[in-house]
Amino acid sequence: MQRRWTTVTSWTAALTLGVGTLAACGQEAPEPGEDVTVADVAGAELDAGDGETAWIERPVTVTGQVVQVLDPGAFLMGDPGVLEPSVLVLSPQTDFTELGLDITDLVVEDETTVEVSGTVRRLSLGEFQEDYEIPYDENVFEEYAGDAVIVADRLVATTAD
């Protein structure tokens, strides 16, 4: 009986350790060239304690659905069919037209799938307004301050069939 208890305890410990390790891996940035999802970016741990992270300034390409248009130059994006968690996508201009897509409420209604290429940054409205000279409305964006966002440099859209 003692041996059986030890075996069960060992398996439980190994399983717990394995699940903990997998959960921790979810926060690490994938290697360049690996697939990245909206959930990966939305859950990115931006402060690893040493002030460095593999996510900040990282170029990514993600595919998802436009969940909500917040501003002509900002929208929330979720993984296709899974709208939470979502990540904020910002344009470096006042809107997305120069990047290849006019983002309106119609893309939400049409369940448009969008491929976004851009750079992961931590949202700091002061820095963004300085870097891009765009008057972001603090009332709209304050809840996302400090979160991982994607500053888009290319958009490609397809409508669900």
Q: Which domains does the chain have, with CATH numbers?
A: 38-159 (2.40.50.140)
Q: Which among 123, 130, 127 is positioned nearest to 70, based on CA atoms?
A: 123
In whole angstroms, give the CA distance from residue 133 to residue 139. Answer: 17
Q: What is the mean pLDDT of residues 88-106?
A: 85
Cα–Cα distance list, 90 to 16, 125, 144 (Å): 39, 11, 12
pLDDT for 145-157, tens place per residue? 989 999 999 999 8
What mean pLDDT is predicted for residues 2-6? 43
In which band, very low, low, confident or very high, does the pLDDT at 79 lie, cut at 50, 70 and 90? confident
Cross-strand partners of 82: 79
Q: What is the pLDDT of residue 26?
A: 43
Q: What average pLDDT is seen over the chain? A: 75
Segment 103-129, tens digit of pLDDT: 877 778 887 889 999 999 999 888 888
Q: What are the pLDDT digits (tens) for 9-59?
A: 333 333 333 333 333 344 566 665 567 899 999 888 776 555 556 788 889
Q: What is the pLDDT of residue 12?
A: 34
Residue predicted with more confidence, 1 or 64 = 64
